[in-house]
Amino acid sequence: MLSIQESITRLRAEIIVQDWKLSPQRAEMLKAAFACLRQRFKNRKTPHDILIMADYVLNQGIKNNYIFIPPAIDFLKEAMAHVVSLYEDPLFDPDRETKLLKTFQIKIKKLLPAIQQPLTQTPKAESGKVGQNSGNPTPPNDRTIYPGGIPPPKPLPVNPLPAAKEIFSQEEQQEIEQVMNALKNAVYTSPANDTDAIRRQLEDLLDTEMAPKEADNPAATKPARSGAPTASDQSGKEADNPISDCPETPIRLLTIGKTTIGIPDSDIALISPLSNSQRARYLKSGSVPLNDFSRFMKNLARQFKGPLSKFKESILKQMTLPVMTPMSIDLPAIPDETATALIVVGDGQWNGVILCAKISEAVPAMTRFQKARNGDISGFGYLKDSTKIPLLNVISVLRREGFLTVH
């Protein structure tokens, strides 16, 4: 499966691309990105439902032999732009997201009749010429016939979304709810969402679709993961920043993949061992139900430290937290598949889960710190015995991949 960052990169690329004659490979990559981001936003209604709508529109175009009518292209590009924006915005604005979702519900309701009708195409028609006809009209039997008429010679500009009404009538709310339920059923039961089929193509597609072509640009190299500097950049930053004393800070040592990092013990809400079956289930779903930590005759909230300990038992049992992947040039790009334990981390109302191969029982104190930014690694912590440990910036990971819990 695509990682979250690769999925966002894929969306950015499709937003700015001028040529929208989607090939089967590009369409499958885009579907894989939608699937990954739907899981990422599983607990956040607005981006999750926008991705459901976009995936349905994409499926309809695929059913029509990768021919997309201009309004469908506009919808997909607008949807992807908003998803990227919501992902990158560190501030959660529920009012803004509610209005945005209403706007997209109105737009999908208007778009559905056009995209659900099959396109008719004569044997001479070429999908590669859709939307690019010259100023001279062509004979009717030599072009693709769209529902609602022939598209204009020039590509349509992206139309702004219609203004959403603040309040829906009860009939409108029921109708929109029916539309969304139908879309969700169509997306989740579609054979096109077979992730196993997508997985089999990813290795070749990543290299051919997303990596820069060295033949066209000899100086181009495969980009590092977003936010992660190269080794040479990292060594320069480390040399520029002095080692300074800091208050004694208890830290836990975690091993993710083959790299050991430190994390302030105060950021950890819970530590739990992980069985093979649990690991497989969490990796597949991308989330961890907190009800899994329930114990007979033991209060669930009391097992947590920090804000999660203040939630009601009934709410905690219904809550799931995302499996997060810390980013740096030394850490794996996907959750640790050799993990034997997990930690629940939190900062204020943001919470998430990190899988690790090892967690130290000892809690040594960090007494000195050196800034050296490396993705989600903020720098190096020095223990009393002068051991040097990369220190994880928990807030960075949580703002990107965490779940906002609200009482």
> Distance (Å, rounded) from C-alpha 56 to C-alpha 192?
10
Specify if 218 maps to a domain. Answer: no
The SS3 call for residue 91 is coil
Specify if 141 maps to a domain. Answer: yes
Distances (CA, A) of 59 to 2, 131, 160, 369: 19, 20, 23, 51
Backbone angles phi, psi at 131, to 5 degrees: 75, 5
143 and 20 both lie in a single domain: yes
pTM comes to: 0.49
Specify if 220 maps to a domain. Answer: no
Tokens standing for 272?
A: 């739990």
| Dmax (CA) of the chain | 82
DSSP class of 32? H
Per-residue confidence (pLDDT) for residue 146, from 0 to 100: 42
Sign of the alpha-carbon dihedral angle for 232, 233, 238, 239: positive
Specify if 216 maps to a domain. Answer: no
102 and 133 both lie in a single domain: yes
Q: How far is CA 402 from the centre of its chain?
A: 11
The SS3 call for residue 104 is helix
Per-residue confidence (pLDDT) for residue 167, from 0 to 100: 46
Specify if 277 maps to a domain. Answer: yes
Specify if 224 maps to a domain. Answer: no
Domain end position, chosen among 161, 178, 210:
210
104 and 200 both lie in a single domain: yes
Enumerate the H helices of 241-312 as residue ranges. 276-285
Sign of the alpha-carbon dihedral angle for 97, 102, 107, 108: positive
Specify if 373 maps to a domain. Answer: yes
Give me the tens of pLDDT residue by residue for the chain, a chain 407 residues long. 677 888 888 898 888 887 677 788 888 889 889 988 888 887 788 898 999 999 999 988 888 888 888 888 889 999 999 999 888 876 778 888 888 998 898 888 888 888 877 655 433 333 444 334 444 444 343 344 444 444 444 443 443 444 444 445 666 566 666 666 666 555 544 444 433 333 333 333 333 333 333 334 434 333 334 444 444 445 545 556 788 888 899 999 999 988 999 999 999 999 999 999 999 999 988 889 999 998 876 788 889 988 888 888 888 888 889 999 998 888 888 888 889 999 999 988 889 999 999 999 999 999 999 998 888 899 999 998 889 999 999 988 888 888 877 65
Instruction: Output Rg (C-alpha) for the chain, integer angstroms.
Output: 24
200 and 61 both lie in a single domain: yes
Question: What are the residues facing 358 on neighbouring strands?
Answer: 255
280 and 133 both lie in a single domain: no
203 and 341 both lie in a single domain: no
> Distance (Å, rounded) from C-alpha 301 to C-alpha 308?
7
H/E segment holding residue 244: strand 244-256
**Burial group, residue 221, by CB count within 10 angstroms (0-12, 13-18, 19+):** exposed
323 and 353 both lie in a single domain: yes
Reference 381, options 394, 396, 395, 365; nearest CA is 365
> Distance (Å, rounded) from C-alpha 25 to C-alpha 16?
18
Domain end position, chosen among 175, 210, 245:
210
Per-residue confidence (pLDDT) for residue 67, from 0 to 100: 80
305 and 368 both lie in a single domain: yes
Per-residue confidence (pLDDT) for residue 289, from 0 to 100: 92
Domain of residue 334: give its range: 231-404
Specify if 92 maps to a domain. Answer: yes
> Distance (Å, rounded) from C-alpha 93 to C-alpha 89?
10
272 and 362 both lie in a single domain: yes
- Domain count along the chain: 2
69 and 157 both lie in a single domain: yes
Per-residue confidence (pLDDT) for residue 205, from 0 to 100: 36
19 and 163 both lie in a single domain: yes
Output b/e per residue, 173-204; b: 16+ Cβ within 10 A.
eeebeebbeebbeebeeeeebeeeebeeebee
Tokens standing for 153?
A: 């010679």
95 and 238 both lie in a single domain: no
